[in-house]
Amino acid sequence: MNIHISQLNGANTSGYFDRTPERLVLEGYRRWTAGFETGSIVPWEMVWGLYAEHLGLSQAKRAIPDLSVFIRTLHHCARCSLAAFPFDSQQVCREECLVLGLISGLQNQDALLSVTCLEALVTPSRCDIVADAARDFANTLADFGQTLLPIPLHAIDLALKRGPKATIH
């Protein structure tokens, strides 16, 4: 089942994935996950290139470790295997939507959104450790002026109702 990206915030979102904050989170998640899955450092080098290009070298050196800890912790604590679309795809799968929602909720002080995303992604006994890692990553991005747009809870609810095969484009 597909969800249109316009359902994320009810506005014109044609450039949503082109915004730097969303791109850093989404492509960081995709590429870091690919590095874990393949055992190749190439996707991690791609993250370095992306972050260095958008943040500069010194800020990339600070942001990438926080991204790494967040993704590693998320993968170890996830309810199930985490999915990701190929790099630079203009669609997001359910897990990607939840990751975007989690970071957006933390940055925009939307506790209900972040808790909803966290509980959908992570086993209950591990929520606190993932929340801490996500918060560190979200705060680091915010420190560099990279705050995601608010995502309405109804968009996350829609992704959850449609199940793990849902995509957003």
Average pLDDT, the chain: 89
Identify which of 105, 113, 36, 111 has the alpha carbon closest to the alpha carbon of residue 67.
36
Give tens-digit pLDDT for 100-120.
999 999 999 999 999 999 999
- Reported as a single tens digit per residue, the pLDDT across 67-103 is 999 999 999 999 888 899 999 888 889 999 999 999 9
pLDDT at 4: 40
- Report how far residue 165's alpha carbon sits from residue 28's, in angstroms, rounded to the nearest whole number: 21
Read off the pLDDT of each residue in 128-153 and give the average, rounded to a whole number.
97
Average pLDDT over residues 37-57: 96
Between the alpha carbon of residue 70 and those of residues 66, 102, 110, 141, the distances in Å are 6, 11, 19, 13
pLDDT of residue 89: 87
State yes or no: pLDDT of 15 exceeds 60.
yes
- Amino acid (1-letter code) at residue 39: G
In terms of pTM, does the model score above 0.85? yes
pLDDT tier at 18 (50, 70, 90 boundaries)? confident
**In this structure, how many other beta carbons lie within 10 angstroms of the beta carbon of residue 20?**
16
Inter-helix orientation angle 153-162/111-121, to 10°: 20
Q: How many domains does the chain have?
A: 1
Give the percent of the chain with pLDDT over 90.
Answer: 75
pLDDT higher than 90, residue 45: yes
- Check: CB of residue 115 under 8 Å from CB of residue 97: no
Range of the domain at 104: 2-168
